[in-house]
Amino acid sequence: MSLRTAQDFTPTRTAALERLSRFIPRAGADYARMRNHDLGAGQHAHVSTLSPWIRHRLLTEAEVLEAVLSRHSLKTAEKFVQEVYWRTYWKGWLEQRPAVWQMYRQDLLAALDQVQTQSGLRRNWADACTGQTGIDAFDHWAQELVQTGYLHNHARMWFASIWIFTLRLPWELGADFFLRHLLDGDPASNTLSWRWVAGLQTKGKTYLARADNIETYTGGRFRPRGLAGVAQPLDGPDAPRVPLPQPARFDPQMSSALLLHDDDLRPAFLFDAGLAPVATACLLTTRDRSPLHIAPHLEAFVTGAMSDVTQRWADRLGPVTPALTDPDAAIAWARSTGARQIVTPYAPVGPNAAALKTIETALAPDGIRLVRLQRPFDSSAWPHATAGFFKFKDKIPTLVAGLKGISSVQG
């Protein structure tokens, strides 16, 4: 089996539900026991591999949690439930410190400038991205990521550690490499996870990849030589914490259009809130995830997911404009609909949020409102993402208890 065909990620809700159904029996004791074992491309049976669909919300977190907890107790499925909430935690944390994303983007541009002017750095960076470093495990993971758009979570940690502490490459270049290829990459989870490995997220706490650990959890496939023996924390500025935005409301009696984006492709909660759009458009910001070229499989997944959602909800969307690739096109579309408000799922910090801000500013003089509707799942969890995950984790039982009330508007 080739790496390219080892893992199937069909960008449809049907495929997501089928994957969820297959995983549910393993979400309890099997996941708790085997989740850290990376058995190779196409062999990730002990983790859910649901993240590409959850990241774009073809499948929502609430749906996944409720499905798992209908089969397992919270105690039995605790490890998996916590893993689902990690993504929520990261989003909430970054939403309160958006400057971290801006600093990453600025420092990435600086690192790319260095790549252009320093031949040694350029060569080492290229070797890392193409899997030609001579570190067998690392090279395998680089090639798996490029060819499949997916890596096991444990492999991501090892990879980031080797990138930073053994290869001594700028962490921003590694985070960008992931974001250009990962089907489940999002600004919060990706950026903050790399920062955590580097010792920037939890000050002084780093993650060191060790050969014996890699050997144990790859089933003896790898025992890389020459890895760094220490992981000295990187240093960087802190970012100020800002208040979370207040949930917005829209007027269901006002003429409305729907603007979908790839942070949330499950619009049922908007229809449940009373939205009846006169027209719908899809905002495609995939290429804004990086200054460099985005992997073709990532663009294909996002465009496929958008096609899936517009086909499934065709009777509720009005005329559909399938792919607006920049804010100017979205602004022109919004004006052309005749709608007085443009309703969109809330976009957390990242390319979609930036594009929506530009669109909002341009439409305001025309008297057209841009209304970002936030899911109750996020608005209930994000306020607890103020410090480290362990403090957030204490709130998970309460958040889970509220899922039944949330599910009716999740769709």
| Residues 298, 180 contacting (CB under 8 angstroms) | yes
At 336, list the tokens. Answer: 């052309």
Q: Which domains does the chain have, with CATH numbers?
A: 13-95+381-410 (1.25.40), 109-217 (1.10.579.10), 256-373 (3.40.50.620)
Residue 247 confidence (pLDDT): 84
Which residues of the chain are under the pLDDT cut of 70?
1-7, 404-411
pLDDT at 175: 98
| 3 state SS for the chain | CCCCCCCCCCCCHHHHHHHHHHHHHHCCHHHHHHCCCCCCCCCCCCCCCCHHHHHCCCCCHHHHHHHHHCCCCCCCCHHHHHHHHHHHHHHHHHHCCCHHHHHHHHHHHHHHHHHHHCHHHHHHHHHHHHCCCCCHHHHHHHHHHHHHCCCCHHHHHHHHHHHHHHCCCCHHHHHHHHHHHCCCCCHHHHHHHHHHHHCCCCCCCCCCCCHHHHHHHCCCCCCCCCCCCCCCCCCCCCCCCCCCCCCCCCCCCCCEEEEEECCECCCHHHHHCCCCCCCEEEECCHHHHCCCCCCHHHHHHHHHHHHHHHHHCHHHHCCEEEEECCHHHHHHHHHHHCCCEEEEECCCCCHHHHHHHHHHHHHHHHCCEEEEECCHHHHHHHHHCCCCHHHHHCCHHHHHHCHHHHHHHHC
Question: For position 195, what pLDDT does the model report?
Answer: 98
Report the chain's terminal Cα–Cα distance, integer Å: 37
Distances (CA, A) of 178 to 142, 191, 254, 339: 9, 10, 42, 38
Query: Cβ neighbours of residue 342 under 8 Å, at least 6 residues apart?
Result: 256, 257, 258, 259, 334, 359, 363, 368, 369, 370, 371
Q: What is the pLDDT of residue 184?
A: 98
- Please state, in angstroms and rounded to a whole number, the distance separating the CA atoms of residues 404 and 409: 10
Q: Can you give the pLDDT at residue 7?
A: 63
Q: What is the CA radius of gyration of the chain?
A: 21
Q: In the chain, how long is the greatest CA-to-CA distance? A: 65
Residues 6 or more apart whose Cβ sits within 8 Å of residue 43:
6
Give the C-alpha separation, 395 to 381, whole Å: 8
Q: Which residue has the tokens 């930036």?
A: 354
Copy the structure tokens of residue 231: 């992981």
How far apart are alpha carbons 196 and 215 in whole angstroms? 23
Exposed/middle/buried for 42, CB within 10 Å: 0-12, 13-18, 19+?
A: middle
